[in-house]
């Protein structure tokens, strides 16, 4: 069996001891990590593949815990609006007009390119026509959890008359994609009726999958929930039985002490999306409080329509600084931030048994980040640079399941110029008044 050796660099394993191996070799076989060891004395056997990682940080691939990759063609189409106006007046009408399988497939291809280039190896998606997103993800080589959404207020791909049958078909379509895990993603407790929400929960329970849902994103949502049900969104989810299955709660910025206690006593993980929350006028997620209570917290970008990029390293910097501002420097230290981007994010998604750290037997989802660049010199603490100096542009190699998806900044699985061309052409139809430069 042909092996792959990542030779040189500093391996940040993100194992429980936070083991760091200087001048390392990571050995990969059959898509799995076989060893992480110091290089001296290493000689690659003839015929095996080697990847030069000298001058790099070698670490687990980043995990984007909440995004909507099918929306990527709406990047920058609607800025400067608060969440509900952004959603109701701009995003939902655009999605009703354009939200078709070809839009989702191309948007996800474009997102996959950006994620591979910025070091994301797994993403947790929620969108319409998710089978088309899954196909694009599969072809890109990335790992993904694809959640087919259901929402009763937008009108796009809305199989509310036979939701469960549609979910069954969706799960069936994904069974040939080995790295893609299907999930269900009801938009929110305010966007789906009680009856349908209960059906979705029963389906998730029967299939043994998690539910991916927006929760307590802005105060308007909390107020609306209280007015309609006399409960917070978290209390409403509890009353509906949602927490009987593992739940990935996106945002959770507007939560009470009691909400956090409910989440801590169930299998709920939080994905924080700080840049989207800032941009849409939301609040700052109480990350240290969640983690103190044992609720794992991962990091997401949300969609490119509310961020407007998928760069998790810059997202992490924003997140850390927001907590400095909110609770004081040190309230979220740099090692914790890198854990949230990797092993803790994997835990929220229920896949920490296979990814999130460089440990023997885990799937080989690995990135190498160039530190031989002016903004990374000097280097006293690699975790500090990852959070406060580096960006996705510094990612040099991206590997998923032992397959090299990007080598020295060249993406190997997707035709980059073709995807960029087709995306620009599609955008001319979405917003003819846009700039649309000729390249
Ligand atoms: Zn979202």
Residue 45 banded pLDDT, cuts 50, 70, 90: confident
> Tell me, what's the pLDDT at 83?
86
Ligand 1 center from residue 127 Cα (angstroms): 9
Ligand 1 center from residue 300 Cα (angstroms): 9
pTM reported for the whole predicted model? 0.97
Q: Vertex 140, ends 92 and 48: CA angle to 5°?
A: 160
Tell me the pLDDT tens digit for each residue of 125-166. 999 999 999 999 999 999 999 999 998 865 455 555 688 999
Mean pLDDT of 423-435: 95
> Tell me, what's the pLDDT at 102?
98
Ligand 1 center from residue 250 Cα (angstroms): 7
Tell me the pLDDT tens digit for each residue of 160-210. 568 899 999 999 999 999 999 999 999 998 889 899 999 999 999 999 999
Enumerate helices (H) and strands (E) in the chain, giving the number of each: 16, 19
Ligand 1 center from residue 321 Cα (angstroms): 22
* CA dihedral angle for residue 156, residue 425, residue 421, residue 67, rounded to 10 degrees: -20
**Cβ(339)–Cβ(14) below 8 Å:** yes
The CB density around residue 275, as the number of other CB atoms within 10 Å, is 21
- The percent of residues above 70 in pLDDT, for the chain, comes to 98
Ligand 1 center from residue 312 Cα (angstroms): 15
Residue 227 banded pLDDT, cuts 50, 70, 90: very high
Ligand 1 center from residue 68 Cα (angstroms): 6
Ligand 1 center from residue 212 Cα (angstroms): 10
Ligand 1 center from residue 251 Cα (angstroms): 8
> Tell me, what's the pLDDT at 152?
82
Tell me the pLDDT tens digit for each residue of 1-23. 789 999 999 999 999 999 999 99
Helix (H) or strand (E) holding 219: helix 219-229
Ligand 1 center from residue 302 Cα (angstroms): 5
Ligand 1 center from residue 215 Cα (angstroms): 9
Residue 41 banded pLDDT, cuts 50, 70, 90: confident
Looking at 160-174, 241-255, 319-333, which range is the least confident one?
Answer: 160-174
Q: How distant, in Å, are the alpha carbons of 131, 133, 223 from that of 107?
A: 13, 8, 33
Domains and CATH numbers, the chain: 3-60+364-411 (2.30.40.10), 62-348 (3.20.20.140)
**Cβ(236)–Cβ(225) below 8 Å:** yes
Mean pLDDT of 390-399: 98
- Residue 74 clears pLDDT 90, i.e. is over it: yes
Residue 52 banded pLDDT, cuts 50, 70, 90: very high
CB-based burial label for 371 (10 Å; 0-12, 13-18, 19+): buried
Kindly report the backbone phi and psi dihedral angles of residue 124, in degrees, each rounded to the nearest multiple of 5, phi listed first.
-110, 110
> Tell me, what's the pLDDT at 154?
54
**Cβ(363)–Cβ(399) below 8 Å:** no
> Tell me, what's the pLDDT at 153?
66
The CB density around residue 264, as the number of other CB atoms within 10 Å, is 14
Ligand 1 center from residue 151 Cα (angstroms): 13
Tell me the pLDDT tens digit for each residue of 296-316. 999 999 999 999 999 999 999
């Amino acid at each position: 069996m042909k092996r792959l050796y990542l030779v040189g660099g500093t391996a940040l394993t993100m194992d429980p001891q936070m083991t760091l191996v200087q001048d390392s070799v990571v050995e990969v076989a059959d898509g799995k990590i076989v060893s992480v060891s110091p290089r001296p004395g290493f000689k690659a056997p003839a015929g095996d593949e080697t990847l030069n990682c000298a001058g790099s940080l070698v670490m687990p691939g980043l995990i984007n815990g909440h995004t909507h990759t099918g929306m990527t063609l709406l990047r920058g189409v609607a800025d400067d609006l608060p969440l509900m106006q952004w959603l109701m007046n701009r995003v939902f009408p655009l999605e009703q007009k354009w939200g078709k399988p070809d839009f989702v497939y191309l948007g996800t291809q474009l997102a996959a390119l950006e994620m591979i280039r910025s070091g994301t190896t797994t993403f947790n998606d929620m969108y319409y026509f998710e089978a088309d997103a899954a196909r694009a993800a599969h072809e890109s080589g990335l790992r993904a959890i694809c959640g087919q959404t259901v929402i009763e207020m937008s009108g796009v791909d809305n199989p509310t008359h036979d939701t469960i049958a549609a979910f069954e078909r969706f799960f069936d379509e994904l069974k040939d994609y080995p790295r893609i895990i299907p999930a269900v993603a009801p938009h929110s407790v305010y966007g789906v009726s009680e009856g349908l929400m209960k059906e979705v929960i029963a389906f998730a329970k029967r299939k043994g999958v998690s539910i991916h849902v927006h929760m307590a994103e802005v105060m308007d949502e909390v107020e609306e929930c209280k007015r309609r049900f006399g409960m917070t969104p978290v209390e409403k989810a509890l009353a509906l039985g949602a927490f009987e299955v593992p739940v990935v709660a996106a945002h959770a910025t507007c939560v009470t002490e009691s909400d956090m206690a409910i989440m801590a006593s169930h299998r709920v993980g939080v994905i924080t999306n700080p840049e989207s929350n800032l941009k849409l006028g939301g609040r700052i997620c109480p990350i240290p409080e969640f983690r103190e209570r044992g609720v794992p917290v991962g990091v997401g970008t949300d969609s490119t329509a509310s961020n407007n990029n998928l760069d998790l390293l810059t997202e992490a910097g924003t997140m850390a600084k927001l907590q400095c501002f909110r609770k004081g420097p040190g309230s979220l230290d740099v090692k914790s931030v890198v854990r949230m981007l990797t092993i803790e994010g994997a835990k929220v998604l229920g896949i920490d048994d296979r990814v999130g750290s460089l440990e023997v037997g885990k799937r080989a989802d690995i990135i190498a980040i160039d530190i031989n660049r002016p903004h990374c010199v000097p280097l006293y603490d690699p975790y500090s640079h990852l959070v406060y100096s580096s960006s996705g542009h510094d990612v040099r190699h991206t590997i998923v399941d032992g397959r090299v998806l990007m080598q020295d900044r060249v993406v190997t699985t997707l035709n980059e110029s073709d995807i960029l061309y087709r995306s620009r052409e599609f955008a001319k139809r979405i917003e003819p008044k846009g700039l649309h430069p000729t390249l």
